Chains A and B, each alone.
Chain A
Amino acid sequence: GAVVSQHPSRVICKSGTSVKIECRSLDFQATTMFWYRQFPKQSLMLMATSNEGSKATYEQGVEKDKFLINHASLTLSTLTVTSAHPEDSSFYICSAFWTGRITEAFFGQGTRLTVV
């Protein structure tokens, strides 16, 4: 099956700094990728839809200037958490939508962000 790689898997940063998370589709091209956030013991909430070559579409309540998304190529989307605060600590997961032989969303392994 298709593979989505997310990096880093775990990161600790200081308040006020920025952190970049990468999401790569390793063996297929993904014109659309999605970024989700998961709070402890809760579901995944869609943050934004990342479209290759255009601006991301953010869900209501998600701060565009805080969560910068760039989808510069068909295999890479990045999420940058700017001026991170402890309340941004969470599990962030990306997915890439594959419209190949089967139509399915494949997920990265997630990034555990801790802001101290």
Chain B
Amino acid sequence: GDSVTQMEGPVTLSEEAFLTINCTYTATGYPSLFWYVQYPGEGLQLLLKATKADDKGSNKGFEATYRKETTSFHLEKGSVQVSDSAVYFCALTYNQGGKLIFGQGTELSVKP
């Protein structure tokens, strides 16, 4: 079945460091891919998305490119801030009713 695998956390970085969170997927079809962010005690917020191969999603300095050849959707940010500390989830959907399949989440902690 379809699945999403993320790199294990927690990831601890200093402010202004470069961030990469790896995400790979297994899918039988051609899903849309998402990154969601969850701040402590809150629900999920959509961070960015890509709906087809080679699309790049970007938002708030974060980027991810839909790579069909490597079945990956790695999240990157050039310079992280303390306020980026959160849990990040990679997910996929076929947009058939909105059912999402999530990776296990990666906790990011950014220190001043």
Contact = CB atoms under 8 A, between A and B. Distances in A.
Interface of A: 4, 6, 32, 34, 41-46, 49, 93, 95, 97, 103-110, 112
The winner among B42, B89, B97, B104 for most chain A CB atoms within 10 A is B97
Interface of A is mostly: strand
Given A42-B104, A95-B100, A103-B95, 14 more contacts: A6-B43, A34-B99, A34-B100, A43-B89, A43-B102, A43-B103, A43-B105, A44-B102, A45-B102, A49-B97, A107-B44, A107-B45, A110-B43, A112-B41
Interface string B24-64: 00000000000010000111111001000000000000000
Contact of B98 (A41, A105, A109): A105
Contacts of A97: 97-98
A108 B45 CA distance: 9
Contacts, number: 53
B99 A46 contact: yes
22 contacts: A6-B43, A34-B98, A34-B100, A41-B105, A43-B102, A43-B104, A43-B105, A44-B44, A44-B89, A44-B102, A46-B99, A46-B100, A46-B101, A95-B98, A95-B100, A103-B98, A105-B93, A106-B46, A107-B36, A107-B43, A110-B42, A110-B43
